[in-house]
Amino acid sequence: MDPVSPRIEIHLGPEAIVQATPGPEVETGFGASCEFTGRVRAVNFGRKVDSVHYDAFVPLARSSLHRIATEALEEAGTDGSVLIHHRTGPVRVGEASVWIRVLTPHRDEAFRVCRSVIERLKHEAPIWKKEVYTDGETEWLKGHSLCASGRKS
């Protein structure tokens, strides 16, 4: 198979995530598809959650996510396609906050790329997460490298 340029799509915004099936033009040469969906939990560390508010510096986040996807494909030594959709703004319990779809020629690479993208996204992308609890309190959660620790607001 001839090498294929990586196809990377990044979506950041308040719109609900629609998980679409890739069309045949995208799937050519790719035998494996791996997807990850992250949803807002009803309870986190023993606290009842109402919603999560995601904030992002969109231009930098878009660039960071593109770099993460490119490097994940390179590290796996594979051609592929990566789609990352991350919500911003309020996201209710049960709703999807992040969706990643990876297409590669083989399953091992698809799993590795998908895992790498979500793990790195959580620690490297300038996306901040504030949980809103059912008792009305809020807390910024640790996770991003710029956020040294959770802080109350």
Map out the domains of the chain as residue ranges: 30-152
Q: Are strands 81-87 and 7-13 parallel, antiparallel or unpaired?
A: parallel
Instruction: Give me the chain's average pLDDT, please.
Output: 88
Percent of the chain with pLDDT over 70: 84
CA distances from 135 to 39, 44, 49 (A): 21, 13, 9
Homologous superfamily of the 30-152 domain (CATH):
Molybdopterin biosynthesis MoaE subunit (3.90.1170.40)
Tell me the mean pLDDT in the region 75-102.
96
Prediction pTM value: 0.86
Residue 103 has pLDDT above 90, yes or no: yes
Q: Which residue carries 């710029």 as its tokens?
A: 146
What digits encode the pLDDT tens for the residues 19-66? 777 665 565 678 899 999 999 999 999 999 999 999 999 999 999 999
Q: Tokens at residue 135, please? A: 């008792």
